[in-house]
Amino acid sequence: MAFHFTPAYELIDDLSTKKLSSVDILKSTIGRIWDVNEHVNAIVSLREEQDLLEDAAAADATPMDQRGALHGIPIAIKDLANAKGILTTEGSPIYANRVAVEDDLIVERIRKAGAIIIGKTNTPEFGLGSHTYNPVFGTTLNPYDLTRSAGGSSGGAAVSLATGMLSIADGSDMMGSLRNPAAWNNVYGMRPSWGLVPSDPDGDLFLHSLATSGPMARNPRDLALLLSVISGEHAKVPNSFSNPNLMPVNAADLKGKRIGWLGDWSGNLKFEAGLFEASEKAVSQFVALGATVDLVAPNFSAENLWESWTKLRSWKLASSHQHFLDDPVFSNQLKPAVIWEIENGRSLSTQDVNNASKHRSDWFLCAAEMFETYDLLVLPSTQTWPFEADKPHPTEIDGIKMDTYHRWMEVVIPAGLLGLPVVNVPAGFGENDLPFGLQLIGPKKSDHTLLAFAEAWHELFNWPGSRPPTI
């Protein structure tokens, strides 16, 4: 029996009625991985099959009243998070042999919910850059075109979902890492409201609020399922909070809803040929759901957004990674993007950081005013189609040179800078037969409403179900 593209919520229903066993699902998962993963390189550090089967048999023996929300469901953890007993390389040769001695908080919650952790999903070095390649495990390839990038940094997770190797996957997002790979692999990726999924209670807990973990899946109901497990207040994590109303997810009634289409930010965002036009056509489909769609010219400088983002991002990354650059043993093992971030962050003055925070605050007020008029803001999820996998990153868009390694991902920062909830919804395919997506952005703490909007979209289109890769 094969369950490669069965939603997680259906698998859980079948497990609860004993129509399926965890051993059945685990065997199907392993078989799919052996068939597919050699072509795409998405799952790494796979555990021994016998150990996994023993875990599945133990899951089947657990009484129903002791089972968690994910009981018996296989999952692989993004290789930035620690899962006890499994390598955590972060895609860096510095950590190539590091075996985790304990679970990170998100993994602890997933394990407590009864999921079977089978291994890891591939990620770029330290999660930097939206292209999943590293010197430890190599490059993850796009299943819709094996010569192309899968995106990142949750590229391994997105490809595992798209190809039916997993039914749910965790990821993390600082600069689009739950959205860009989801768009390029025809799946859903959600960056939740900042604080809904708490980070581990160590290091600085107040200053750096640009990144968060979140769920990925082939449908919004599974997004909500995993989010309900990994979210929730933690007493030792400031600004963390709970939302007990994430499930169930029913399709929202969009009749009378107003959607603000931010487009290309009044010409300030550049897009590869055909992508913006495809995105514009896709967003017009909300009219079929009863909503009105208005083109909105944001009353905020794109350059101030970029300045705020790059300074705050580099400031954060320098504080957490500069010790590698200072160590002669490790410094020559860092990829250029890591070195650039550290050096850029070190060059900042306190006034630079303060100015960046002021721009961020001004944008928060501007966005809040927009949500007084619009129920949802929408942007394209990417500015390029999946590019050639042997390149580190795009260097130009439509003839315009990119001035940094990540300028081509600028479209993801309006939501990320403010910690707003945002879901990538698969939006179709271009004339090149490559997938793309839209970012649905809601006001802070509107996660459940946003999932309901995504479910309405999914019921109308279901791109993952109607057009899986043919690998």
What letter represents residue 242's amino acid? S
Q: How far apart are CA 363 and CA 372, in angstroms?
A: 14
Q: Are 42 and 258 spatial neighbours (Cβ–Cβ below 8 Å)? A: no
Per-residue CA distances from 295 to 164, 328, 344 (Å): 36, 52, 35
Distance in angstroms (rounded) separating the CA atoms of residues 386 and 269: 17
- CB neighbour class for 53 (10 Å; exposed up to 12, middle 13-18, buried from 19): middle
Phi and psi of 319, rounded to 5°? -65, -30
Report d(CA 168, CA 160) in Å as an integer.
Answer: 9
Query: What is the rounded CA–CA span in Å between residue 266 and residue 274?
Result: 18
Closest CA to 177 of 13, 428, 422, 400: 422
Distance CA 427, CA 424 (A): 9
Cα 51 to Cα 245: distance, rounded to the nearest angstrom: 36
Do the beta carbons of residue 300 and residue 366 sit within 8 Å? yes
Cα 245 to Cα 241: distance, rounded to the nearest angstrom: 12
Rounded CA separation 382/151 (Å): 10
Return phi, psi of residue 135, to 5°. Answer: -80, -5
Contact 356, 312 (CB under 8 A): yes
Distance CA 153, CA 91 (A): 10
Assess contact for 177 and 91: CB atoms under 8 A. no
Catalytic residues: 78, 153, 177
Place of tokens 């650039």: 340
Contact 58, 151 (CB under 8 A): no
- And the tokens for 33? 């991985």
101 within 8 A of 94, measured Cβ to Cβ: no
Contact present, 167 and 217 (Cβ < 8 Å): yes
Q: How does DSSP assign 164-209, residue by residue?
A: TS-SEEEEEESSSTTTHHHHHTT-EEEEPPTTTS---S-S-SSS--
